[in-house]
Amino acid sequence: MLLGDRAKYVMLVGGLTFATMLMTQQSAVFFGILKWTTSHLSNMRAKLWIVDRNVQQANELKALRDTDVNRVRSVTGVAWAMPIYVTIQSAKLADGNFKPIMLVGLDNTTLVGRPPVMLQGRLEDVRLPNSIILDDLGVQRLSVGRAKPLGLGDTFELNDKEARIVGICRADRHFFGYPYAYSTYTQALQFAPKQRKMLSLVLAEPAPGWTPERAAKQIEIETGMKAYTEDELFWSTIWWYFRNTGIPVAFISIIVLGFIVGTTISGQTFYAFVHENLRHLGALKAMGASNALLARMLLVQSLTVGFIGYGIGVLLVTAFGHAVLGRGEPPFMLPWQLPAATFAIVMGICCFSALLGIRKVWKVEPAVVFRG
Amino acid sequence: MPVSATSASPLAVHVRAVTKTFGTGEAAVPALKGVDFNARQGELLMIVGPSGCGKTTLLSVIAGTLNFDGGEIDVFGSPLHQMKPRAITEFRKRNVGFIFQQFNLIPTLSCIENVSVPLLINGASRREAEQKAETLLKQLGLPGRGRERPTNLSGGQQQRVAIARALVHEPRLVICDEPTSALDKDTGGHIMELLRDVARHPDRSVIVVTHDNRIFKYADRLTEMEDGRVQRVHGQGGNHDLSE
């Protein structure tokens, strides 16, 4: 019946497609932003992160004393601990402009905190004087004004010092949109202006037989510094953005709006469809169709348009994701749980819409068909 | 085998002292005030009377689509007054066919699909239901129109589809509410001839509620209602004069 009523069918499918798109796409962009806020974790990777005791999230590092790395190394339950220097520095472009980059200084010997994926060059070459490993976003950003994109062996100016590219890597994008550049710890200190305290954080590994949680606790007890496991820092960062920025509220508002729009459009349209067809439904009831049969019929019709609307919506979001992931922005992350949750919500909306109609049909007397 | 009902034909519908009141208290409107009424098997019986006399209410309670307050109704031996709502629905599903004033065909379904509905409700497979529906539509003079939507057909053709829908599951009681009021005289006449043929079945009864005095001649008997009661029953013969 519903599929034959073109106008309402298109309206319902359109409404549910729109709701699916709004909920899934906005959630995916929101998740993408949250992922960007934790890019340090995915780009440096360690089981234990030791920072100043007041640090609550990965992007707000307060400098430690150089000696703090040795204090961590001395803690029972720590297998190893390496210093990391993280700073935002300005790189000069060929056209004279400047672009900020996220400079990461790795332990000279072990290169702990190294880039996740090397695309070109050798990681070990970062130990050569004035060497930098730049991520692909950095190549794109710093190539502005050049005849051809930056490549291995090319140089650029970083704080009035020459930096030579010895490797190109792939790294997750930072929340602020800065490219990542890796160097050794001592070399990074040369690139950056001198400050009293230069150590940003310490990456560590628990000793055999120690869980990261237990080792973190021990570090806190013995050093007074804050020690996070990778998981703890991830969620601490996420929650920090929830508490301290309007980003979640903005996105959640739009997601809720999508839910309300979907519910309103489909609920109203489906109710109107039932209302307009009440005589026919009453006739079916007179012919012996039970309430349960009519309820099943309405539910199947509602869920059918739900499936179609959801399918089209998710398809469009996937196409959007495919397009933006190629460009690298806006942020987009679509784990399977997200379309699954949207599916459950859309089906919930359809069940609710059907329920409105079922309630109406349930009450209708079959004798209604005899009233002129 | 076509038959014609006589006074000796067994009763199809037996109504005794049936009452029905709509609303309560001061707003209460008695629609049926102790109706006694019979319809025989193989008979086409018409219920006539002025608007508001209770004929549609009587039709509704006989069909089992409306509860009544008092009295007894037996339809082909089934006591509706003793049956629970679910049993009445089940009874209606198997034994009652409906023809409505405005046809009540579902406009978004094809004619075959519309006619198949009672069979599907009775649990037939879609294929079986559609085969039967197509055969019946052919018998009723609508060959090749089965795949069309009812809105593409004339009023008379739509009513034929509605008759096919009422008969497809071979019900024993066919209930017709003003079946010709939306049709012109000739088409209405054809439809009534068809219904009279439908009634000529030893195990079936057709009850028609109508205002349309042009079709009274097709009735085996006329039951005249007034103010919630049966006033007169006009016997067989085909010429029923209600001018008295």
pLDDT score recorded for residue B244: 41
Contact B97, B175 (CB under 8 A): yes
- Given a cut of 70, whether residue A160 has pLDDT beyond it is yes
- The CATH code of the domain at B11-234 is 3.40.50.300
Query: For the segment A239-268, what is each residue's pLDDT rounded down to a tens digit?
Result: 999 999 988 899 999 999 988 988 888 888
- Given a cut of 60, whether residue B143 has pLDDT beyond it is yes
Sign of the CA dihedral with B123 first, then B129, B132, and B137 last = positive
Q: How far apart are CA A212 and CA B176, in angstroms?
A: 81
Q: Is residue A1 part of a domain?
A: no
- Given a cut of 70, whether residue A47 has pLDDT beyond it is yes
Residues A171 and A261 in one domain: no
pLDDT score recorded for residue B187: 82
Residues A206 and A267 in one domain: no
Number of domains, chain A? 2
Could B109 and A286 be called an inter-chain contact, meaning their C-beta atoms sit closer than 8 Å?
no
Residues A195 and A321 in one domain: no
Pairs across A and B, CB distance < 8 A: 68
Q: Is residue A288 part of a domain?
A: yes
pLDDT score recorded for residue A60: 87
Q: What is the DSSP string of A109-161?
A: TT-TT--SEEEEE-GGGGGSTTEEEEEHHHHHHHTTTSSS---TT-EEEETTE
What is the rounded average pLDDT of the residues B213-217?
88
Q: Is residue A30 part of a domain?
A: yes
What is the rounded average pLDDT of the residues B41-62?
92
Q: Which of B63, B107, B122 sits opposite A286 (nearest CB)?
A: B63
Q: What is chain A's mean pLDDT, rounded?
A: 91
Q: Which of B56, B86, B117 sits opposite A284 (nearest CB)?
A: B117
Residues A199 and A315 in one domain: no
- Given a cut of 60, whether residue B241 has pLDDT beyond it is no
Residues A74 and A180 in one domain: yes
Query: For the segment A164-222, what is each residue's pLDDT rounded down to a tens digit?
Result: 999 999 999 898 889 999 999 999 999 988 888 889 999 999 999 999 999 999 999 99
**Model confidence at B230, in pLDDT bands (50, 70, 90)?**
very high
For residue B43, CA distances in Å to A26, B65, B66 come to 68, 22, 23
Query: For the segment A79-114, what is each residue's pLDDT rounded down to a tens digit?
Result: 999 999 999 999 999 888 999 999 999 999 999 999
For chain B, domain boundaries:
11-234
Could you give the percent of chain B with pLDDT greater than 90? 56
Q: Is residue A124 part of a domain?
A: yes
Residues A219 and A251 in one domain: no
Question: Chain centroid to CA A32: how far?
Answer: 3
Residues A203 and A314 in one domain: no
Residues A72 and A133 in one domain: yes
**Model confidence at B242, in pLDDT bands (50, 70, 90)?**
low
Residue A316 belongs to domain spanning? 6-37+246-370
Could A287 and B121 be called an inter-chain contact, meaning their C-beta atoms sit closer than 8 Å?
yes
pLDDT score recorded for residue B4: 57
Residues A316 and A357 in one domain: yes
Q: Is residue A59 part of a domain?
A: no
Contact B71, B81 (CB under 8 A): yes
Q: How far apart are CA A327 and CA A344, in angstroms?
A: 30
Could A367 and B65 be called an inter-chain contact, meaning their C-beta atoms sit closer than 8 Å?
yes
Residues A259 and A208 in one domain: no
pLDDT score recorded for residue A58: 92
What is the rounded average pLDDT of the residues A71-82?
96
**Model confidence at A118, in pLDDT bands (50, 70, 90)?**
very high
Q: Which of B93, B104, B117 sits opposite A369 (nearest CB)?
A: B104
The interface predicted TM-score (ipTM) is 0.84
